């Protein structure tokens, strides 16, 4: 038995922040941002809109597309670095908002790799035979933890998310394999320093702007270029495949140069690589499920196609996944 994707969905907030808007906020310009990241626009939530609100819209779309009743859902996993609250999980809030009273669930914190980590986790629950229907969401409200006076971070991130419905499969479609890694020594390069138990919220942490994302770009870029490319090639080699066997490669959308390096390592031409970073920026756990939904809705995936996902994120975390596409 395998777990297969039977529906996809995405949610992008209406508000758009362009590179030209950012020119008025920090010392940057459109050409600099595009040449270094590939990003042109990103979406931002409206006031009062939180990650669970995006997750709810994604879950409702999945239910509508699949024809499932909320009470048929057994499990909800939400990959996010920006939960509504520190204690109550975003999965629990989403469960309540959609009326999935028979479902249980939890959040997964693996930064930009979160959706792949959550998809692997949910697939094992499905494969166990105890659970039939699982909703897996990757969503982040990055604007809630971004300092819009810091040009190194504010040009990169956006808000948004996507998700899938997982069900059991007795044929050859579904999640075939995954490789996941964590290296906690990388935590010093990308984090939100305060707000947790290490540095509880205080006047001092607020004054020092410690509740925003802090990153050391050069080591992160070096790590990402190598490891996302390596893990993409590794899963192909492990399954005795090459880039010729793939229909589509959906990488985490963090930086166009990182995506190009991974595609080159796998010997993939541009038409086999899905790229939408120019429209949305880095939505952290949201990038892959958003792209997955766009690929499915635009007709770039058909029954039996072989799909490769790959991501890297803070932690450090990184991983890849092979999927044989069904009829989602």
Catalytic residue numbers, as ranges: 112, 252, 282
- How far is 77 from 92, CA to CA, in rounded Å? 9
Output 86-93 pairs: Cβ under 8 A, ≥24 positions apart: 86/195, 86/196, 90/51, 90/52, 90/55, 90/139, 91/55, 91/137, 93/52, 93/55, 93/56
- How far is 187 from 242, CA to CA, in rounded Å? 33
- Integer CA distances (angstroms), 196 to 110, 140, 193, 216, in order: 16, 18, 8, 20
Q: Is 170 exposed, middle or buried (0-12, 13-18, 19+ CB in 10 A)?
A: exposed
Among 286, 326, 305, residue whose Cα is nearest residue 7? 326
To which residue do tokens 């035979």 refer? 129
- How far is 140 from 283, CA to CA, in rounded Å? 6
């Amino acid at each position: 038995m395998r777990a297969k994707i039977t529906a996809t969905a995405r949610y992008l907030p209406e508000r758009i922040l362009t590179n030209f808007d950012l020119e008025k906020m920090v010392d940057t310009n459109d050409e600099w941002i595009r040449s270094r990241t590939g990003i042109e626009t990103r979406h931002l939530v409206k006031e009062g809109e939180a990650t669970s609100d995006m997750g709810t819209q994604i879950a409702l779309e999945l239910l509508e597309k699949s024809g499932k009743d909320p009470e048929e859902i057994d499990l909800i996993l939400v990959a996010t670095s920006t939960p509504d609250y520190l204690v109550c999980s975003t999965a629990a809030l989403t469960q309540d908002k959609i009326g999935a009273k028979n479902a249980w669930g939890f959040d997964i914190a693996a930064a930009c790799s979160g959706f792949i980590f959550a998809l692997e986790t949910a697939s094992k629950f499905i494969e166990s035979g105890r659970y039939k229907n699982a909703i897996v969401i990757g969503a982040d409200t990055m604007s809630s933890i971004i300092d819009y006076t810091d040009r190194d971070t504010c040009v990169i991130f956006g808000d948004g998310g996507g998700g899938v419905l997982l069900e059991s499969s007795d044929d050859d479609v579904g999640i075939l394999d995954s490789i996941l890694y964590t290296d906690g020594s990388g935590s010093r390069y990308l984090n939100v320093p305060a707000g947790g138990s290490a540095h509880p919220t205080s006047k001092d942490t607020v004054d020092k702007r410690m509740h925003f994302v802090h990153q050391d770009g050069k080591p992160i870029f070096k790590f990402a270029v190598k490891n996302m490319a390596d893990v993409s090639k590794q899963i192909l080699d492990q399954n005795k495949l090459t880039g010729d066997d793939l229909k589509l490669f959906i990488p985490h959308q963090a930086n166009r140069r990182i995506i190009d390096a991974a595609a080159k390592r796998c010997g993939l031409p541009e038409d086999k690589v899905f790229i939408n970073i120019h429209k949305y920026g880095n939505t952290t756990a949201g990038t892959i499920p958003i792209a997955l939904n766009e690929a499915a809705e635009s007709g770039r995936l058909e029954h039996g196609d072989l799909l490769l996902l790959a991501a890297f994120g803070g932690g450090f975390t990184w991983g890849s996944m092979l999927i044989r596409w069904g009829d989602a």
